[in-house]
Structure 1
């Protein structure tokens, strides 16, 4: 259980599923499809969907590359949190958005697995949230020419190590999209 008081709700975080962020992503279309299904399920169950959008020199705000991919549509009233750092909580309004909605558990999806997704998971857990990674709803691009493992290995390793994370009074772990229950403790 989350260590945050009076925060019984869950939210779906969609991290950086933007045109440039996923342009060369591993299994891009499949992952975006899974995220789209989760967004629809969350909406049907009245679970908050929170969109996170990165901006930097290579992906400036307002550019085509900065836009959320066209396959995913933000619904009226769904917040977009703008960020400049890997961790979606760092120097953003994400904490306030989640607090307003009574959220103590986040289900994390998006890109890049080895950057913003990991940073956001760790940021959530250290701030008192239960942080669950949706194992088939995150992706990354091939950075192996710089010494990183191949994308499938990055994803598998992240799923493995996050499945063993925990902290006092908080839970972490992974769940496959088809097994995800937004209401389960």
Structure 2
């Protein structure tokens, strides 16, 4: 249903599940555990897994802070996207990687809900991708001291509004990790 032609594959996009990003995130262990399960199921289904890692002056490439959490181990040949902006597409080769894999549907999990996840799902959708947000496989750190709602409310709101996202020729969806169907179109 996406607006991208001559494609037909799904990919799992794992965004910023890095030591510094999720170290003190809301329900960190449960969310990471669900992402581990998604990665295993995607691989079993022959669905590409794409790893996105943010870097900046506080999280430089190659540092412990920048590294993926130890529970998540990329397999040989899986794509790695290095970004410096919230939207995983901006300033990266993500679109080229997805085109090379004939992907037109993304299943998205990771961190941070109110920043890079939100930016990436919108970025994917406006670029023509069918975009599924995994409702229980994204998280964020507490930003209430700066006036943000508690993280559970940020997650609930993001899941709510994404479930009503629409545009001609593409779909947006919100499903639990248990209900992700990598073969469904």
| TM-score, normalised relative to structure 2 | 0.99
Gaps of 5+ in 2: none
Q: Secondary structure at the match of 1:170?
A: coil
Give the aligned partner of residue 34 of structure 2. 34
Aligned to 1:175: 175
Structure 1 CA distance for aligned equivalents of residues 127 and 64 of structure 2: 33
Q: Could you tell me which residue of structure 1 aligns to residue 147 of structure 2? A: 147
Q: CA deviation at 1:58?
A: 1.3
Query: Is 1:165 paired with 2:156?
Result: no
TM-score, with length taken from structure 1: 0.99
Q: What is the CA–CA distance in structure 1 between the aligned matches of 2:161 and 2:99, rounded to whole Å? A: 28
> Which structure 1 segments of 5+ residues have no match?
none
Aligned residue for 1:131? 131
- Where 1:82 maps in the other structure, the secondary structure is strand
Indicate the SS of the match to 1:71: coil
Residue 166 of structure 1: SS of its match in structure 2? coil
In the alignment, the residues of structure 1 paired with residue 135 and residue 77 of structure 2 have an alpha-carbon distance, to the nearest angstrom, of 27
Q: Could you say what the CA RMSD is over the residues aligned between the two structures, in angstroms?
A: 0.5
SS of residue in 2 equivalent to 1:107:
strand
Residue 94, structure 1, aligned to residue 94, structure 2? yes
In 1, distance between residues paired with 2:7 and 2:24?
Answer: 37
